[in-house]
Amino acid sequence: MTWETKSVVDQRLEFCRLAELEGANVSQLCRRFGISRQTGYVWLKRLGSGEPPQDRSRRPHHSPRRTEASLEQAVLEVRDAHPAWGARKIARLLQNAGLDPPSASTVHAILARHDRITTLAGAGPAFGRFERAAPNLLWQMDFKGRFQLVSGDWCYPLTIIDDHSRFAIGIEACTDERTLTVRDRLEPILQRHGLPMAIYTDNGNPWGTGVPGGWTRLRVWLLKLGIDLIHARPYHPQGRGKNERFHRSLKAEVLAFASFSNLKQAQGAFDRWRDLYNHHRPHEAIAMVAPATRYTPSTRNFPARLPEPIYDEGEIVRRVSTTKAYVTFKGRPWRVPKAFQGETLAIRPLTQDGQYGVFFAANQVALIDLNKRQ
C-alpha cells in the first residue's frame, strides 16, 4: 500500500494514533496500512522521541501556580486556541497538562472578565443519549449540512463516530451524498479501523430506510461485510443525539471560524480537528476524558474479497438481472428491490399456503403471493 489518499505525515500519524490505543494490535494495524512491522515500530519510536509527526504540546506557556495574572493568561491562551470550548473543558485541559487549574466557575469568570463569552446561535438543548457497552458495537454515520466553498462548489461533510467512545472514526469532505461517494470514503476507513457490528443512520438516501423494501446498494454492500444497518425512527431526532452534538461541535470549532478554498483545504482542517477531538479535547459526556482513551480498533478485518451469500443445497435460487429488478417463479415475474440487481436470491416457502419469501442470505427482501393476481 502506498500513502495515497492523504499526505505521508497524516498517514503515519493516523497509524501511530491507532497503535497507541490501549489493546491495539500493532501487527494487525501494520497489515491494514500495508507496511512492515519494522516500519511501524520505527514510526512509533520516532513519534515517541518527538520527531514529526508529533503530538501537540499540552504544556501552556505560563504556569498558573506563579501569579494570578499568569493563571488568567493560561486560561485565555487555551480559550483563544479553542474559541468554542467552555470553562469545564479548559479547566480539564490545564489539569491534563499537570497544572492545578481553577474551578470551572473561576475559569468562566476569567473568560467573562476578558470578553471571551459568546452565545452560539442555534445551540439548542442536547438530545437524550444511549450508549453501547464497548467500542465498534455501533458506529453512527451521517452527513452534516452542506456548506459552500470559496470556489463556489459545495462540501458535504460525512461524519462517522463510535457510539461507545465518541471517537471520530472519520470526517470526510465529499462532493455529494451519493452511494458511490460514501462507499469510496468508507472502504479505506473500514480497512484501517476494522468492521463494526452495526452502523446507525437516519432514513433516506443513500442509507435506505428501515421499512420493508427500503433497500439501497450501500445497505446490501454493508450486509455482505457483516455490518447491520440500523435506522433511526422517523421524527425521533433524540436517537441521533451523538451525531447532532458532534455536528454542533464541528460547526462551532471548525466551520464557524474559517472558509475553505477547495475540498482539499477543507479535508486538511477536518483531519487536524479530528486529531484534536480524539486525543486532546475533554469530552463532557465521558467524564471529561478524550475519546481515544475509550477506543480501540475492531478485531474484525476488512475481507480481501467481498463475501457472497451461501444458500443450502436444494434451495430455489435465482439471480436477479442486472437491468430489471425481478425474479421468475412458477412461470411469473416477481418484483424485488432494485438494490438487488445482479445479486443471487433464494425463494423459500412461508407458513401460509401459496406464499414464498424472497431472501438475501437470512434477510427477507420481497414476498411472493401466488394467491394474488399480478
Query: DSSP E strands: which ranges in 262-305?
Result: none
Produce one character per residue of 220-239: b if its CB has 16 or more CB atoms within 10 Å, e if not.
bbbbebebebbbbeeeeeeb
Q: Are 322 and 289 found together in one domain? A: no
Query: Higher-confidence residue: 231 or 86?
Result: 231
Round to whole Å and give the CA distance between 321 and 323.
5
Instruction: HSE, CB side, 13 Å, CA atoms: give it for residue 248.
Output: 15
Residue 76 lies in a domain: yes
Query: Higher-confidence residue: 97 or 14?
Result: 14
Residues in the chain: 374
Q: Are 290 and 336 found together in one domain? A: no
Is residue 129 scored above 60 in pLDDT? no
Quickly count: other Cβ atoms within 10 Å of residue 49's Cβ. 8
Q: Are 169 and 32 found together in one domain? A: no
Reduced to 3 states (helix: H, G, I; strand: E, B; else coil), residue 96 is helix
Residue 173 lies in a domain: yes
Residue 118 lies in a domain: no
Helix H or strand E encompassing 97: none
DSSP assignment, residue 239?
A: G
Domain that residue 335 falls in: 316-369
For residue 368 the three cell numbers come to 411472493
What integer pLDDT is reported at residue 311 of this predicted model? 93
Residue 60 lies in a domain: no
pLDDT, tens digit, 9 for 90 and up, residues 319-345: 999 999 999 999 999 999 999 999 999
Q: Record the pTM.
A: 0.71
Q: Are 362 and 234 found together in one domain? A: no
Helix H or strand E encompassing 273: helix 263-279
In this prediction, residues 61-70 reach a mean pLDDT of 53
In this prediction, residues 65-89 reach a mean pLDDT of 70
How confident is residue 270, by pLDDT bands cut at 50, 70 and 90? Answer: very high
Round to whole Å and give the CA distance between 374 and 364.
20
pLDDT, tens digit, 9 for 90 and up, residues 160-187: 999 999 999 999 999 999 999 999 999 9
Of 214, 221, 212, which is closest to residue 190 (Cα–Cα)?
221
Round to whole Å and give the CA distance between 143 and 175.
11
Residue 100 lies in a domain: yes
Residue 31 lies in a domain: yes
| Partners of 172 in beta bridges | 158
Could you tell me what percent of the chain has a pLDDT over 90?
Answer: 47
- CA angle at residue 107 from 116 to 92, to 5 degrees? 115
Query: Higher-confidence residue: 306 or 131?
Result: 306
- Residue pair 117/87 in contact by the 8 Å Cβ criterion: no
Strands 154-162 and 168-174 come out as: antiparallel
For residue 290 the three cell numbers come to 478524550
Q: Are 287 and 150 found together in one domain? A: yes
Q: Are 290 and 166 found together in one domain? A: yes
Round to whole Å and give the CA distance between 344 and 317.
7
| Partners of 348 in beta bridges | 357
Q: Are 288 and 181 found together in one domain? A: yes
* CATH code, 225: 3.30.420.10
Q: Are 242 and 190 found together in one domain? A: yes
What integer pLDDT is reported at residue 127 of this predicted model? 39
Q: Are 144 and 215 found together in one domain? A: yes
Residue 53 lies in a domain: no
Q: Are 44 and 83 found together in one domain? A: no
Residue ending a domain, choose from 96, 113, 130: 113
Residue 134 lies in a domain: no
- Residue pair 18/29 in contact by the 8 Å Cβ criterion: yes
Produce one character per residue of 298-328: b if its CB has 16 or more CB atoms within 10 Å, e if not.
bebebeeeeeebeeeeeeeebebeeeebbbe
In this prediction, residues 60-70 reach a mean pLDDT of 53
Could you tell me what percent of the chain has a pLDDT over 70?
Answer: 83
What integer pLDDT is reported at residue 337 of this predicted model? 92
In this prediction, residues 99-105 reach a mean pLDDT of 71
In this prediction, residues 264-288 reach a mean pLDDT of 90
Reduced to 3 states (helix: H, G, I; strand: E, B; else coil), residue 20 is helix
Round to whole Å and give the CA distance between 141 and 317.
34
Round to whole Å and give the CA distance between 338 and 322.
9
- Residue pair 81/97 in contact by the 8 Å Cβ criterion: no
The domain total for the chain is 4
Radius of gyration of the chain (CA): 25
Of 322, 358, 356, 367, which is closest to residue 342 (Cα–Cα)?
322
Q: Are 221 and 285 found together in one domain? A: yes
Q: Are 14 and 148 found together in one domain? A: no
